A and B are shown apart, each in its own frame.
Chain A
Amino acid sequence: DTGVSQDPRHKITKRGQNVTFRCDPISEHNRLYWYRQTLGQGPEFLTYFQNEAQLEKSRLLSDRFSAERPKGSFSTLEIQRTEQGDSAMYLCASSLLRASGPGGTGELFFGEGSRLTVL
């Protein structure tokens, strides 16, 4: 499977614990995005990277959240001191955006998500 993969698919944790999610984008994609989705709602943008640079963070991303993409390939999203309100599906997406040339339409390809439940 050469799509976006996320791990773990499900995580149950107790309030106050730290959790980390990993995303492996499609290999040639230069952009990587994190979104959060709660039940019955559409995904909400959290942050995105172009290669290894984190270019934008949503106000939804509190100080307890940190995302990295150290080598411009996979990314991790860590949540420290989890709260019950952090329970959600965390979605990763990647895209290839080129200034010119063929391909690189910027279409986002989403992974299956990592579902977090904070007890």
Chain B
Amino acid sequence: GESVGLHLPTLSVQEGDNSIINCAYSNSASDYFIWYKQESGKGPQFIIDIRSNMDKRQGQRVTVLLNKTVKHLSLQIAATQPGDSAVYFCAENKGGTSYGKLTFGQGTILTVHP
């Protein structure tokens, strides 16, 4: 079936480096994509989202890139900090009446070393 998946399950970086987390999706009908951060024992926390009519969106220290041609999504974190260590999930949504019915990927564990 259609799914959202991640290329790398783990990513280790040094504090201050930039991090890039990748995600592939297969549902061409998806029109809304979100990145979530989940710390141990907590619920997912919204980071940034992007709609299919955009290819880039920037937030505070984070940038999401969307390549619809190859169905690829990435999250860039600038100047990664130890507090960024968590599991990162991409999620996709078909929008419309299904808004909020998200399909999550497996997750990437980001570890930031001081």
Contact = CB atoms under 8 A, between A and B. Distances in A.
B53 interface: no
Interface stretch (A11-19, A64-72, A75-83, A103-111): A103-111
B89 A42 contact: yes
Contacts of A91: 43-44
Contact of A40 (B98, B101, B106): B106
Q: Report the interface size class on chain A.
A: 20 to 34
Given A41-B107, A42-B104, A43-B44, A97 B98 contact: no
B61 interface: no
A112 interface: yes
Most buried by A among B41, B44, B49, B99: B44
Contacts of A43: 44, 89, 102, 104
Contacts of A110: 36, 43-45
B101 A42 contact: no
Interface in A55-104: 55-56, 91, 93, 95, 97
A107 B99 contact: no
B46 A31 contact: no
B100 to A, nearest CB: 6
B105 A33 contact: no
A48 interface: yes
Contacts of A31: 100
A48 B100 contact: yes
Contact of A45 (B41, B89, B97, B103): B103
Interface string B45-72: 1100100000000000000000000000
B75 interface: no
A51 B104 CA distance: 24
B87 to A, nearest CB: 9
A44 B107 CA distance: 13
Contact of A106 (B4, B89, B99, B103): B99
Interface of B: 4, 34, 36, 41-46, 49, 89, 91, 97-107
Given A42-B89, A108-B34, 12 more contacts: A4-B43, A42-B91, A42-B106, A44-B104, A45-B101, A91-B43, A91-B44, A106-B100, A107-B46, A107-B49, A112-B41, A112-B42
